[in-house]
Amino acid sequence: MTDQEGSSEEGRLDPAAVEALYASHAVELRAYLTGLLRDPDLAAEMLQATFLRAVERGHTFRNDSAKAWLFRVAHNRAMDYRRRVAAEGRLVEKSAWWKREKRGNAASPVEVAGRDETVSRVRQAIEQLPAEQRQIVRLKIYDNLTFAEIAGRLSVPLGTVLTRMRIATKKLSVALRGESKQ
């Protein structure tokens, strides 16, 4: 089939062309989608969405690239679905938090005071670290930099940054455990 064969005037593939593509590639696509999504029912839905796209825009691929095009469409549909589900999950979490806050299920003054005290203890423990370690901890926690970014900013090897952070973490753990036993 060439670019024009199997397509109708509106730029859609004709039913016979879609049937031929389905017969040739549906089993492989379903297996790929099932592996990707870990849900056979969802994979079946994404397979339908893939072939719907083939009907709508199948005229845009060449016959020798039909399989690759179908797999790319299937992959993109599956990733779009996963992103949408993740975004909806974050939205639900935020909504649930907002509802709790609105209903008055906010933390009690005692809980807030306890959190404030913990934050204060952590800050004090960080201040007790040697300057090299304290600097790395601050860049990681407060500036949210990756270890590679910290290494670049400080002009030290990545391994050195990781070692200093590991040592700092151990020191903080010991310091905070020691304070909680008092």
pTM for the predicted model, two decimal places: 0.46
Note whether 13 and 2 are within 8 A (CB): no
Over residues 152-156, mean pLDDT:
93
Report how far residue 169's alpha carbon sits from residue 94's, in angstroms, rounded to the nearest whole number: 30
**Lowest model confidence (mean pLDDT) among 2-11, 34-43, 158-167:** 2-11
Report how far residue 78's alpha carbon sits from residue 58's, in angstroms, rounded to the nearest whole number: 18
| pLDDT reported for residue 96 | 65
CA-based max dimension of the chain:
81
Note whether 75 and 43 are within 8 A (CB): no
| pLDDT reported for residue 4 | 40
How far the first Cα of the chain sits from its last, in Å, is 79
Over residues 174-180, mean pLDDT:
76
Q: Which residue type occupies 44?
A: A
pLDDT bucket at 34, cuts 50 / 70 / 90: very high
pLDDT surpasses 80 at 28: yes
pLDDT exceeding 70 applies to what percent of the chain?
A: 76
pLDDT bucket at 43, cuts 50 / 70 / 90: very high
**Lowest model confidence (mean pLDDT) among 7-21, 22-36, 158-172:** 7-21
| pLDDT reported for residue 18 | 83
Residue 95 half-sphere exposure, CB side, CA atoms within 13 Å? 6
pLDDT surpasses 80 at 95: no
Report how far residue 55's alpha carbon sits from residue 20's, in angstroms, rounded to the nearest whole number: 12
pLDDT surpasses 70 at 10: no
Report how far residue 132's alpha carbon sits from residue 121's, in angstroms, rounded to the nearest whole number: 20
| pLDDT reported for residue 118 | 79
Which domains, from first to last, does the chain contain? 15-96 (1.10.1740), 109-180 (1.10.10.10)
pLDDT bucket at 120, cuts 50 / 70 / 90: confident
DSSP state for residue 59 in the 8-state scheme: G
Tokens 């062309």, located at residue: 17
Burial class (CB in 10 A: 0-12, 13-18, 19+), 25: buried
Residue 5, both tokens: 């064969």
